[in-house]
């Protein structure tokens, strides 16, 4: 479970803006937090609050508590819960600068490419940036916006500190675990900001993550001697400015840092009186907002305007260019560097030859080389390839060849991390790992007690040569030692974000580099971090990131401020930048950890120094006018600028020629100019003499790149008492036609005492400005142009003409053409260009390329789909089918693992001649991977995903699982580690399979999904299966939705499209993929459960549900204790009862089974504390059996949990045991609707009942990708199958069944097949009772649609409801589209088609759908008509009627008998609903037609 929590943390933080902006833009009625920014705060607080209230009340429709927070000190504005409509209305009000959704920003602690865990990676700085001669107390106050503080840490001792500065206006807030006594003369203030979404755990300044405590102690922590991380890197821990005061503003939690809280903290900090602000957080480079929508840029502007230095981390998305964030010119932007310390874990070979390695491990091996050494390649299993074994991939090593040996593995160009390879080696009995890799850079990763080290490819060749030349190769891996005075240092680590700035290429960013790798600082005491065996938890931690670099600079800024109290923020920034160094400790140029020479895009002005910055000689002061001009240059008008700034002069106006290139002229301590060809470019700078001598002369030294001439005028700066400020002009000229790359140089002014250096960059292109909402940003848009009626070549020409008509220059904007099933294209466009294209004739819609997600559930605790153990050994298929069919299923997903036995073509006939598809060839996939079963495979490249996207091969497992569930061949005697053993077989094993890989680790791109639809239509598939879709809050308009668009054209061409309903239940209105032409599938359980029972000391057995491979004895001989009885002295009873992190006493837990109330109990933490097992009393998992691996854990419903707690409290020596999981067959009741399955009603239209159908989606067993196997139980071989849950798994059950129906009834249309499956569905479980939800409430059609699928009745349905294209065209009319749009959309719309005169939304109820949904708003009648087609064996037959009607509603059907003849295959009937009173709730019923052979049922819903 710990891994799941980490996944939640990383995933939420990484996608912070993708989620918030999409929900804001696409659901006008939903409420979310918006920030309303109103510029400078010039009125009184009370006056501002009134202004805010009036503005808010002007748009609210009712008196609701919308206000979240007021901003009234440093700037004016507020945060409130608003709909998009209300937000747009406020945005038009006078005095409002911007209105934007509250973004969630992330902490800038890196995890590296090897997934560094900041809580465990051991890196330290024992030379903090401070001056030994500083006084013990200073009045400078540093404010930190982060995760809070652990006030008891020794770093925050007040010893030697003087009284709190009298100007301090802040406070130390009280909370349940924090009070005024936690503050002192060092920590003088602490605030928190309540999560607007109601996360109660955030209502305290106390740090629960450790990040804020680490940052604060790095910046201003008091000196603490003898600090270390488990003995490594021992030394003193001391902040950059230990004499400064500290104020903490907790704005971040597990779920990130909300923009509204960040702005609240800026607002308070300005009023409180801080001098410096430090923010180790920010946006991701791909999701940066506009400058006026960016909480950090806004807050920092007003702070700097009030004289406060603001230092921010540059981000951890390097080494790619253009990744630096927090790049506004008023922010001091900090990159990361290494220090002169390394962590070495050497390999000793036979003959005592030592090979240097890097890593953190506490190896228990002997120091002598006495352990057998083996190469992965020579230890391969018979089934694995040489490459897989060489790289030690899961399931590639033969345990008999590896057990008891040190293994050498080649990790070059491999997607597996060292940590993952360790697990592979451990699982087959290896005792150590030597990993050859070139991807770790300067980072020493943490491997715990397992002997593991990383070596260079060069040293790897040496070891391999030794193995090949020795009859008995031996080695050992030494435990880590600390290497001091490591050279070269500093280096720029790969993770540190790089320039140039996307905001403006005329500002050089980052500004400065500072230590951000291997930084030791204080940590929280209740951390759940892994503890090495035999050690006590460390009060310090060592982590990496620009998060760690930033407080080095903010600490230094505090010291500079203490020495120079009258200096403004820009002077302090200048002092730090102009005194930076560019050489390492070998006196050569600073490099990156890849070995390339660093540039200002890597480190800005250079590496910070701690003494020269205190007396810089000259400073570049960037004043408010510079920043106001900057706002003009980037496109803001003067009216907006005057609203933003409190200090703007009355006569201020934007310069007439306010081009972006003029940004180069703001008085910044670095220079960046755009240089596009021959000629010259000039900029001006002004310096202020702050040295000790008034009379002095500075001379210049220019370092210019080849081919560029740099002229300074004047060429000397002569300062006098009356001339403290002097300006100079820099003229850049060149004879080059144009620059081939950006060029770097520097200008240095020096006298006899000071050296003042400014870097410059000459860029080869015009200003870059990329953000989410700006009109100049480029992102992929989809241009949808309706039906494809012309030739492919003609369509491509049409697309090219439209695209070229809006492009400003010849650029490669086109991403993909759509030309088979429909017309359109995807292209990289600015919003302005996209808006222009949207106005062109023939264009239906233009919308940003959305990222959809796979619909495999992770449950409430983010079940990891690769390890959830759930199975279905009764797949939807008929044993009587022939072994081959010409029906072709297309699956749009993550690709395929073609070697799996599920895709064996044994017994299959020739490939259908109508098949027009292909099997693409890539480096790891070729035509031989296809066969008569798997007849086609395509992929759609995602450049952001790298090489893994350039292949149809499945690296995730999801697509392989889905495909085998739908049409997999029979595979005998398979299981998931002996659980749920049986045969694996798809729903239609006789059908063919075509794969379209449109999904990757980052999701499923809309443009790729549309391309897959387009190709599948041309290829000739019969059924399409999509186990993916949007989140409920991010659903698009009908024709901005790639799945809806593609499905419409596929259905129009006779292809049935089956889609997952989503995993956002059990809330209402969460169903997605709900267009009427889509077959929408909800999930159910099956008649199998996984039982792990708890046996108490009195021999009572309590049933539990979980997957575990417990090694406990079956007799109840283990002590058992409740979390409440195991609490620490500091924790609350409530926290301990729920086993919250840090709440349990290890001495009380050790050797016992722990019982926790609620889902918070963490098996990894209980295990770390020495516990024997864990019992979770909770209902949040519902019918899902959570997989806990080897640790004994079971989940018990609360109604049974009471007796366990009573037993513990009433028994002097309570005992128990947890039994390992067993498979329970014929489990009752089943099916049930699991909590995760998304529910209706549809947000698209309440006149269509969605979802349509229910199918097995919990505990589904199917094939898996060999590349995605993780979590192998001890002593087991990896399983090539997996068992996972979600509507992702339900969908292929239905698409497989649809293939079987199509095989039996080849002439049936998509809607007829849908009808056959829906009208034959069941509504009772295996107890012959109505289907229930797993909360035990009665389910409704909003949960399961027509009911649970059946596998035989659907093959011969008797009657079908055929929904034809005219129905769908009428639906578009009723939904508000005009006739001209509809004729563009549809290829089959007749020339004389027109929308019905009364095209109201309620008429949607009349489309010929196999369910009925009508709106009844009061007394009276509502009627609908349906038409059925006789597809039974008898032409002459009579069907009779049965109506199941809710009370107080009369249902009349005319006629009440349907008499079919040879000439009357189609008959219609009318249903009239009469309500005696207004509905209080939505009501449900059904209409069923039966003859002596068939029963044809459709559900109905009456909505209020």
Indicate the pairing of strand 245-250 with strand 232-237.
unpaired
* Rounded-to-integer distance, Cα 569 and Cα 1352, Å: 76
* Rounded-to-integer distance, Cα 228 and Cα 236, Å: 8
Contact at 8 Å (CB) between 1178 and 851?
no
Q: Which pLDDT score is estimated for 127?
A: 36
Q: Which pLDDT score is estimated for 236?
A: 81
Catalytic site includes residue 956: no
Report the chain's mean pLDDT, rounded to a whole number.
85
pLDDT digits (tens, 9 = 90+) for 503-529: 899 999 999 999 998 888 999 988 767
Would you place residue 113 in the very low, low, confident or very high pLDDT band (cuts 50, 70, 90)? very low
DSSP conformational letter for 946: G
Tokens 């071989």 map to which residue? Answer: 1277
Q: What is the 3-state secondary structure (H, E, C) of 1352-1401?
A: CHHHCCCEECCCCHHHHHHHHHHCCCCHHHHHHHCCCCCCCCCCCCCCCH
Would you place residue 16 in the very low, low, confident or very high pLDDT band (cuts 50, 70, 90)? very low
Tokens 């997934």 map to which residue? Answer: 115
pLDDT digits (tens, 9 = 90+) for 394-436: 999 999 999 999 999 998 877 788 988 999 999 999 999 999 9
Q: Which pLDDT score is estimated for 855?
A: 53
Tokens 């927090």 map to which residue? Answer: 326
pLDDT over 70 at 48, yes or no: no
Higher pLDDT, 1299 or 484: 1299
Query: Cα separations (Å) of 1293 from 888, 1006, 1362, 1457, 1499?
Result: 15, 24, 22, 34, 21
Triad 1315, 1321, 1327: Cα angle to 5°: 175
Catalytic site includes residue 211: yes
pLDDT digits (tens, 9 = 90+) for 1107-1116: 898 889 999 9
Collapse the DSSP code of 833 into the 3-class scheme (helix H, G, I; strand E, B; otherwise coil) and give the result: helix
Which of 423-427, 804-808, 1257-1261, 1298-1302 comes out lowest in average pLDDT? 804-808
Question: Tokens in use for 209?
Answer: 């993550």
Higher pLDDT, 244 or 790: 244
User: How far from the centroid of its chain's Cα atoms is residue 330's Cα?
Assistant: 30
Q: Which pLDDT score is estimated for 876?
A: 34
Q: Which pLDDT score is estimated for 1463?
A: 86
Beta bridge pairs of residue 1416: none
Q: Among residues 73, 121, 799, 958, which one is catalytic?
A: 958
Average pLDDT score over residue span 766-787? 58
Average pLDDT score over residue span 921-925? 91
pLDDT digits (tens, 9 = 90+) for 1132-1184: 888 899 998 889 999 999 999 999 998 878 888 899 999 999 999 988 778 88
Residue 1408's contacts (CB-CB under 8 Å, 6 or more residues apart) are 1311, 1361, 1362, 1363, 1364, 1367, 1426, 1427
* Rounded-to-integer distance, Cα 1210 and Cα 1159, Å: 24
Q: Among residues 544, 547, 1300, 1354, which one is catalytic?
A: 547
Contact at 8 Å (CB) between 1043 and 1059?
yes
pLDDT over 60 at 10, yes or no: no
pLDDT over 70 at 72, yes or no: yes
pLDDT digits (tens, 9 = 90+) for 1097-1140: 999 999 999 989 888 999 999 999 999 999 999 888 888 999 98
Residue 1254's contacts (CB-CB under 8 Å, 6 or more residues apart) are 1081, 1082, 1083, 1084, 1231, 1233, 1290, 1321, 1331, 1343, 1344, 1345, 1346, 1347, 1348, 1349
Higher pLDDT, 1191 or 102: 1191
Catalytic site includes residue 958: yes
Question: Tokens in use for 862?
Answer: 């983010």
* Rounded-to-integer distance, Cα 1368 and Cα 1370, Å: 5
DSSP for 346-411, written as a single string: -EEETTS-EE--B-B----S-SSS-EEEEEGGGGB-SSS-HHHHHTT-TT-B-HHHHTTSEEEEE-
Q: Which residues of 919-944 are buried (b: 16+ CB within 10 A; e: fewer)?
A: bbeeeebeeebbbbbbbbbbbbbbee
Would you place residue 1074 in the very low, low, confident or very high pLDDT band (cuts 50, 70, 90)? very high
* Rounded-to-integer distance, Cα 1413 and Cα 324, Å: 52
* Rounded-to-integer distance, Cα 1471 and Cα 524, Å: 67
pLDDT digits (tens, 9 = 90+) for 312-325: 999 998 888 889 99
pLDDT over 70 at 768, yes or no: no
Average pLDDT score over residue span 74-94? 82
Cβ atoms within 10 Å of 369's Cβ, excluding its own:
21
pLDDT over 80 at 623, yes or no: yes
Collapse the DSSP code of 75 into the 3-class scheme (helix H, G, I; strand E, B; otherwise coil) and give the result: coil
Collapse the DSSP code of 1444 into the 3-class scheme (helix H, G, I; strand E, B; otherwise coil) and give the result: strand
Question: Tokens in use for 164?
Answer: 């709190």
User: How far from the centroid of its chain's Cα atoms is residue 1182's Cα?
Assistant: 25
pLDDT over 50 at 122, yes or no: no
Catalytic site includes residue 1040: no
Q: Shortest CA distance to 636 belongs to which of 655, 661, 664? A: 655
Q: Among residues 146, 317, 1040, 1334, which one is catalytic?
A: 146
Tokens 């349940």 map to which residue? Answer: 176
Longest dimension (CA), the chain: 114
Q: Among residues 112, 396, 1288, 1354, which one is catalytic?
A: 1288
pLDDT over 60 at 1004, yes or no: yes
Catalytic site includes residue 547: yes
Which of 299-313, 465-479, 869-883, 1265-1279 comes out lowest in average pLDDT? 869-883
* Rounded-to-integer distance, Cα 726 and Cα 730, Å: 13
Indicate the pairing of strand 77-82 with strand 32-37.
antiparallel
Contact at 8 Å (CB) between 40 and 28?
no
Q: Shortest CA distance to 1497 belongs to which of 1487, 302, 892? A: 1487
What pTM was computed for the model?
0.55
Higher pLDDT, 1330 or 60: 1330
Q: Shortest CA distance to 894 belongs to which of 818, 957, 840? A: 957
Q: Among residues 211, 552, 799, 950, which one is catalytic?
A: 211
Q: Among residues 414, 893, 1014, 1093, which one is catalytic?
A: 893
Average pLDDT score over residue span 854-863? 32
Question: Tokens in use for 1178?
Answer: 């909770």
Instruction: Write down the number of H helices and E strands in the chain.
Output: 30, 78
Cβ atoms within 10 Å of 637's Cβ, excluding its own:
11
Collapse the DSSP code of 690 into the 3-class scheme (helix H, G, I; strand E, B; otherwise coil) and give the result: coil
Q: Which pLDDT score is estimated for 1163?
A: 86
User: How far from the centroid of its chain's Cα atoms is residue 1159's Cα?
Assistant: 23
Average pLDDT score over residue span 1037-1056? 89
Cis amide prior to 510 (ω within 30 degrees):
yes
pLDDT digits (tens, 9 = 90+) for 902-917: 999 999 999 999 999 9
Contact at 8 Å (CB) between 408 and 375?
yes
Query: Cα separations (Å) of 871 from 619, 874, 1241, 1285?
Result: 69, 9, 29, 9
- Provide the percentage of residues in the chain whose pLDDT is more than 90: 54
pLDDT over 90 at 307, yes or no: yes
Query: Cα separations (Å) of 122 from 106, 116, 356, 539, 545?
Result: 22, 10, 18, 13, 13
Q: How far is the first Cα of the chain from the last one, in angstroms, to the nearest whole number?
A: 42
DSSP conformational letter for 152: T
Beta bridge pairs of residue 1121: 1154
* Rounded-to-integer distance, Cα 719 and Cα 691, Å: 10
Catalytic site includes residue 1367: no
DSSP element (H, E) containing 726: strand 725-734
Which of 152-166, 669-683, 870-884 comes out lowest in average pLDDT? 870-884
Following CA atoms 1282, 1287, 1293, 1296 in sequence, which dihedral angle do they give, to the nearest 10 degrees? -100
Residue 211's contacts (CB-CB under 8 Å, 6 or more residues apart) are 107, 109, 118, 146, 147, 252, 280, 547
Collapse the DSSP code of 86 into the 3-class scheme (helix H, G, I; strand E, B; otherwise coil) and give the result: helix
Most confident of 328-332, 979-983, 1432-1436: 328-332
Contact at 8 Å (CB) between 212 and 148?
yes
Q: Which pLDDT score is estimated for 399?
A: 94
pLDDT digits (tens, 9 = 90+) for 567-591: 999 999 999 999 999 999 889 999 9
Indicate the pairing of strand 1079-1084 with strand 1056-1060.
parallel
């Amino acid at each position: 479970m710990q891994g799941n929590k980490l996944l939640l943390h990383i995933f939420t933080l990484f996608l912070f803006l993708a989620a918030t902006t999409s929900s804001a833009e696409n659901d006008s009625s939903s409420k979310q937090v918006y920030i309303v920014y109103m510029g400078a705060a010039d009125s009184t607080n009370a006056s501002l609050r009134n202004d805010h209230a009036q503005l808010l009340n002007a748009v609210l429709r009712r008196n609701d508590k919308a206000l979240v927070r007021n901003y009234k000190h440093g700037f004016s504005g507020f945060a409130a819960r608003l709909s998009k409509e209300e937000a747009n209305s406020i945005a038009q009000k006078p005095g409002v600068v911007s209105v934007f959704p509250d973004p969630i920003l992330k902490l800038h602690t890196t995890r590296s490419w090897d997934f560094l865990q900041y809580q465990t990676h051991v890196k330290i700085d024992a030379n903090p940036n401070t001056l030994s001669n500083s006084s013990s107390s200073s009045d400078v106050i540093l404010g930190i916006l982060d995760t809070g503080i652990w006030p008891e840490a020794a770093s925050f001792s007040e010893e030697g500190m003087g009284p709190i500065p009298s100007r301090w206006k802040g406070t130390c807030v009280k909370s349940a675990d924090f009070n005024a006594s936690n503050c002192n003369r060092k920590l003088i203030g602490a605030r928190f900001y309540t999560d607007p979404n109601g996360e109660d755990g955030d209502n305290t300044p106390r740090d629960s993550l450790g990040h804020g405590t680490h940052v604060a102690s790095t910046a201003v922590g008091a000196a603490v001697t003898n600090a270390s991380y488990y003995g490594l890197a021992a030394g003193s821990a001391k902040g950059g400015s230990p004499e400064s005061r500290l104020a903490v503003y907790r704005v971040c939690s597990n779920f990130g840092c909300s923009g509204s809280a960040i702005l609240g903290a800026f607002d308070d900090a300005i009023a409180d009186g801080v001098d410096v602000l430090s923010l180790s957080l920010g946006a991701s480079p791909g999701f940066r907002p506009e400058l006026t929508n960016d909480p950090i840029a806004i807050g920092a502007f007003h702070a700097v305007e009030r004289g406060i230095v603001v230092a921010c981390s540059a981000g951890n998305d390097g080494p790619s260019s253009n990744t630096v964030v927090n790049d506004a010119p008023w922010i001091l932007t900090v990159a990361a560097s290494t220090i002169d310390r390394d962590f070495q874990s050497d390999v000793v070979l036979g003959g005592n030859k030592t090979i240097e390695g890097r890593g953190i491990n506490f190896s228990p091996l002997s120091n002598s080389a006495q352990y057998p050494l083996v190469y992965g390649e020579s230890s391969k299993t018979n089934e694995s390839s040489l490459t897989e074994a060489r790289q030690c991939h899961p399931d590639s090593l033969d345990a008999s060849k590896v057990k008891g040996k040190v293994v050498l593995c080649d990790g070059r160009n491999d997607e597996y991390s060292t940590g993952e390879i360790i697990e592979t080696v451990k699982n087959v009995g290896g005792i150590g790992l030597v990993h050859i890799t070139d991807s770790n850079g300067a980072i020493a990763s943490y491997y715990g007690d397992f002997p593991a080290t990383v070596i260079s490819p060069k040293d790897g060749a040496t070891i391999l040569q030794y193995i090949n030349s020795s009859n008995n190769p031996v080695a050992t891996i030494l435990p880590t030692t600390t290497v001091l005075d490591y050279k070269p240092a500093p280096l720029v680590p790969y993770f540190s974000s790089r320039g140039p700035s996307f905001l403006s290429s005329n500002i050089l960013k980052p500004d400065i580099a500072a230590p951000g790798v291997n930084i030791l600082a204080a940590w929280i005491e209740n951390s759940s971090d892994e503890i090495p065996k035999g050690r006590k938890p460390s009060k310090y931690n060592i982590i990496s990131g620009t998060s760690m670099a930033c407080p080095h600079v903010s600490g230094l800024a505090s010291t500079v401020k203490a020495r120079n109290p009258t200096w403004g923020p820009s002077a302090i920034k200048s002092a730090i930048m102009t005194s930076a160094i560019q050489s390492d400790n070998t006196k050569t140029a600073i490099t990156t950890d890849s070995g390339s020479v660093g540039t200002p895009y890597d480190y800005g002005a250079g590496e910070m120094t701690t003494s020269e910055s205190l007396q810089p000689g000259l400073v570049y002061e960037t004043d408010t006018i510079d920043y106001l001009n900057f706002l003009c240059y980037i496109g803001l008008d003067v009216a907006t600028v005057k609203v933003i700034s409190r200090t703007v002069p009355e006569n201020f106006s934007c310069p007439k020629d306010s081009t972006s290139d003029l940004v180069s002229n703001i008085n910044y301590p670095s220079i960046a100019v755009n240089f596009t060809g021959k000629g010259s470019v000039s900029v001006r700078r002004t310096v202020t003499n702050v040295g000790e001598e008034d009379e002095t002369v500075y001379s210049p030294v220019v370092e210019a790149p080849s081919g560029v001439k740099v002229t300074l005028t004047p060429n000397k700066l002569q300062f006098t008492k009356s001339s403290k400020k002097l300006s100079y002009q820099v003229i850049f000229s060149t004879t080059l036609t144009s620059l081939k790359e950006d060029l770097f140089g520097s200008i240095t002014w020096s006298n006899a005492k000071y050296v003042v250096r400014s870097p410059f960059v000459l860029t080869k292109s015009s200003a870059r400005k990329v953000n989410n909402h700006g009109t100049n940003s480029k992102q992929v848009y989809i241009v949808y142009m309706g039906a494809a009626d012309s030739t492919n070549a003609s369509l491509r020409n049409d697309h090219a003409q439209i695209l070229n008509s809006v492009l400003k220059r010849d650029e490669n904007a086109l991403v993909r053409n759509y030309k088979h099933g429909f017309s359109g294209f995807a292209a990289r466009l600015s919003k302005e260009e996209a808006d222009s294209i949207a106005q062109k004739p023939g264009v239906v819609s233009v919308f940003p390329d959305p990222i959809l997600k796979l619909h495999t559930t992770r449950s409430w605790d983010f079940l990891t789909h690769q390890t959830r153990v759930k199975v279905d050994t009764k797949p939807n298929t008929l044993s009587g089918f022939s072994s081959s069919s010409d029906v072709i299923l297309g699956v749009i997903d993550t690709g395929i693992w073609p070697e799996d036995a599920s895709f064996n073509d044994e017994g299959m006939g020739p490939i259908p001649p109508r098949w027009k598809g292909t099997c693409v060839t890539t480096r790891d996939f070729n035509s031989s991977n296809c066969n008569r079963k798997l007849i086609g495979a395509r992929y759609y490249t995602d450049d952001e995903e790298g090489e893994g996207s350039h292949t149809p091969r499945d690296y995730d497992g999801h697509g392989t699982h889905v495909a085998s569930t739908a049409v997999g061949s029979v595979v005998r005697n398979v299981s998931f580690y002996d659980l749920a053993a049986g045969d694996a077989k798809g729903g239609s094993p006789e059908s063919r399979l075509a794969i379209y890989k449109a999904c990757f680790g980052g999701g499923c791109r809309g443009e790729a999904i549309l391309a897959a639809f387009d190709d599948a239509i041309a290829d000739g598939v019969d059924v399409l299966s999509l186990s993916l879709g949007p989140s409920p809050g991010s659903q698009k308009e009908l024709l901005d939705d790639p799945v809806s668009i593609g499905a419409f054209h596929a259905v129009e061409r006779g292809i049935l499209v089956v889609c997952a309903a989503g995993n956002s239940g059990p809330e209402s209105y969460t169903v997605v993929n709900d267009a009427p032409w889509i077959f929408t599938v909800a999930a159910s359980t099956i008649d199998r459960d996984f039982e792990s029972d708890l046996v108490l000391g009195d021999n009572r057995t309590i049933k539990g549900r979980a997957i575990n491979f417990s090694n406990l004895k079956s007799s109840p001989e283990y002590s058992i204790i409740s979390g409440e009885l195991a609490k620490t002295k500091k924790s609350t009873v409530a926290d301990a009862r729920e086993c919250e992190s840090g709440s349990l006493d290890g001495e009380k837990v050790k050797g016992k089974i722990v019982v926790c109330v609620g889902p918070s109990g963490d098996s990894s933490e209980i295990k770390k504390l020495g516990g024997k097992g864990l019992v979770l009393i909770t209902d949040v998992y519902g019918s899902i059996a959570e997989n806990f691996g080897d640790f004994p854990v079971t989940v018990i419903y609360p109604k049974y949990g009471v007796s366990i707690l009573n037993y513990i409290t009433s028994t002097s020596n309570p005992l128990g045991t947890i039994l390992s999981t067993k498979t329970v067959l014929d489990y009752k009741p089943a099916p049930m609707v699991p909590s995760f399955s998304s529910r209706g009603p549809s947000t698209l239209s309440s006149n269509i009942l969605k979802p349509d159908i229910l199918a097995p989606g919990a505990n589904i067993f199917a094939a898996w990708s060999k590349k995605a196997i993780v979590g192998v139980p001890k002593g087991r071989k990896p399983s090539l199958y997996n068992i996972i849950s979600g509507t992702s798994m339900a969908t292929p059950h239905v698409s497989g069944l649809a293939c079987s129906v199509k095989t039996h009834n080849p002439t049936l249309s998509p809607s007829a097949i849908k009808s056959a499956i829906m009208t034959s569905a069941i509504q009772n479980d295996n107890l012959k009772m109505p289907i229930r939800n797993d909360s035990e409430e009665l389910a409704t059609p909003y949960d399961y649609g027509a009911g649970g699928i059946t596998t035989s009745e659907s093959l011969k349905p008797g009657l079908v409801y055929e929904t034809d294209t005219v129905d769908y065209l009428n639906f578009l009319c009723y939904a508000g589209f005009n006739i001209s749009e509809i004729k563009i959309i549809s290829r089959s719309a007749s020339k004389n088609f027109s929308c019905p005169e009364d095209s109201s939304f309620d008429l949607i109820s009349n489309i010929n759908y196999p369910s009925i949904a009508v709106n009844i708003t009061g007394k009276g009648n509502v009627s609908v008509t349906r038409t059925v087609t006789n597809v039974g064996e008898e032409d002459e037959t009579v069907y009779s009627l049965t109506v199941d009607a809710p009370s107080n509603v009369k249902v009349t059907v005319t006629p009440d008998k349907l008499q079919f003849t040879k000439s009357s295959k189609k008959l219609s009937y009318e249903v009239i609903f009469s309500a005696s009173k207004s509905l209080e709730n939505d009501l449900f019923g059904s209409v069923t037609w039966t003859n002596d052979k068939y029963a044809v049922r459709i559900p109905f819903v009456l909505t209020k």
